[in-house]
Structure 1
Amino acid sequence: MSETPQKAKRPEFRNINVMDIKNYRLPPAGIVSILHRISGAALFLALPLLLCIVTAGFGTAESFAALSSCLAHPLVKIVLLGLIWATLHHACAGVRYLVMDVHVKVSKEGGRQTAFTVLAVSLTLTAVVAAKLFNLF
């Protein structure tokens, strides 16, 4: 009697429930990628605000004084700190992607290392700017 070869077990695909999302873990490179997109969108949406700040800063002395008093409020400083983080993270992740475009650190481990580097550098620079923004030094 001839034996029939065993069929390889096919992978099982199933629908993902919304409650299953908490069980999935993104790799660091995925987190950096999503944060890069979020920071880019935040910077794009904040362009009118930033344009208003620059215009008032280069305007008359009265508009500069009004801008200075507005920027002294702690909630405004927190919003500015968020935009500063977005700028720093977007720039650091952009440099990471440029380095990857020239085929440096393109492996799985290299991507993991550069992702951690981007997170560490952007958060460290944001902490330094926050210390200066809130007059800690």
Structure 2
Amino acid sequence: MKKQRPVNLDLTTISMPPTAKASILHRVTGVAMFFALTFVIWAWSESLSSAEGFELVKSLMTGFIAKFIAWGTVTVLAYHIIGGFRHMIQDMGYWEDLESGNSSAIAALALWVILAILAGVWIWS
């Protein structure tokens, strides 16, 4: 039994609402945090192992790549927390209709951009 229905595999032609973007970004940041934690755990372990290990991590954290990784880790953590609070509020029965859901998604994304900029200023200053 073969069904004849249209298939659109070009994702660039699909316009997703803010709620979809916020939800997908929440999942992506969860996966990114999993991988970012390998750097965090290694740096924490190395810095606590000895005074030399602490100096090694301290010297590595002055480089651009390490600062970029730290900024990325703080940024994905910030969005994941913001998105998590948004989902918890929705689980309590608020912001479930289309208008307030879109507004909360836009607010979460805007707050995340502001926090990402502030984290960049904090890390690179």
Please, what TM-score do these two structures have when normalized by structure 2?
0.90
Conservation of the 8 A alpha-carbon contact between 2:61 and 2:67? yes
**Does 1:125 find its partner at 2:115?**
yes
CA–CA separation in structure 2 for the residues paired with 1:91 and 1:13: 40
CA–CA separation in structure 1 for the residues paired with 2:112 and 2:11: 27
Q: In the alignment, what sits opposite 2:60?
A: 70
Which has more helix, going by share of residues?
Answer: 2
Instruction: Spell out, residue by residue over 1:4-25, the C-alpha distance to the aligned partner (whole angstroms, 9 max, x if none).
Output: xxxxxxxx94122x3x322211
CA–CA separation in structure 1 for the residues paired with 2:122 and 2:55: 20
Q: In the alignment, what sits opposite 2:97?
A: 107
Pairwise CA RMSD of aligned residues? 1.4
**Does 1:53 find its partner at 2:43?**
yes
CA–CA separation in structure 2 for the residues paired with 1:57 and 1:127: 27
Q: What amino acid does structure 2 have at the position aligned with 1:40?
A: G
CA–CA separation in structure 2 for the residues paired with 1:134 and 1:75: 11
Q: In the alignment, what sits opposite 2:7?
A: 15
Q: What amino acid does structure 1 have at the position aligned with 2:40?
A: L
Q: In the alignment, what sits opposite 2:21?
A: 31
Report deviation, 1:57: 2.6
Please, what TM-score do these two structures have when normalized by structure 1?
0.83
Q: In the alignment, what sits opposite 1:82?
A: 72
| Gapped regions of structure 1 (runs ≥ 5) | 1-11
Q: What amino acid does structure 1 have at the position aligned with 2:105?
A: A
Aligned length: 122
CA–CA separation in structure 1 for the residues paired with 2:37 and 2:113: 22
Structure having the higher Rg? 1
CA–CA separation in structure 1 for the residues paired with 2:11 and 2:86: 27
Q: Runs of at least 4 residues of structure 1 off by over 4 A?
A: none
